[in-house]
Amino acid sequence: QVQLVESGGGLVRPGGSLRLSCATSGFTFSDYYMTWIRQAPGKGLEWVSYISSVAGSRYYADSVKGRFTISRDNARKSLYLQMNSLRAEDTAVYYCARYVVVAPAAYADYFGQGTLVTVSS
């Protein structure tokens, strides 16, 4: 079955950096787009970024553009999110999700359990 397991969350000071990872199994990773979605404590879902199956296309929300970088390693079946210049408002649970793109439709059909990132001094 499809499994997505995030790691790398934790407490970081404002201005600091963190790298999230998402290990996958149960599907052909290289066939799928992947995405990161986050949820601040007690708030709604916010789409963060996606990457195409061969990493040719990357897309970012305005709120993270220029600070976050999404990447993938198809040989390791893993997704990453490098987060720099972190701010308090980046505090959230970060979900990795498999992303199905049938233009112009796009939807996340499987989510991981999430990893908590806390930005605080």
Whether the CB-CB separation of 97 and 6 falls below 8 Å is answered with no
- DSSP conformational letter for 88: G
Q: Is 120 in the site for other proteins (CB under 8 A)?
A: no
Closer residue to other proteins in complex, CB, 17/113: 113
Stretch touching other proteins by CB under 8 A, among 22-30, 67-75, 79-87, 103-111: 103-111
Q: Is 75 in the site for other proteins (CB under 8 A)?
A: no
Tally Cβ neighbours within 10 Å of residue 121.
9
Q: Is 107 in the site for other proteins (CB under 8 A)?
A: yes
Q: Is 66 in the site for other proteins (CB under 8 A)?
A: no
**What's the token pair of residue 91?**
């505090």
Applying CB under 8 A, among 1, 62, 66, 121 the residue interacting with other proteins is 62
B/e letters for 44-70, b = 16+ CB within 10 Å, e = fewer, are: eeebbbbbebeeeeeebeeebeeebbb
36-55 residues near other proteins, rule: CB under 8 A: 37, 44-47, 50
Stretch touching other proteins by CB under 8 A, among 10-18, 74-82, 84-92, 100-108: 100-108
Whether the CB-CB separation of 109 and 98 falls below 8 Å is answered with yes
Q: For residues 76 and 44, what is the distance between their CA atoms, to the nearest angstrom? A: 31
Residues in contact with other proteins by CB under 8 A are 35, 37, 44-47, 50, 59-62, 95, 100, 102, 104-114
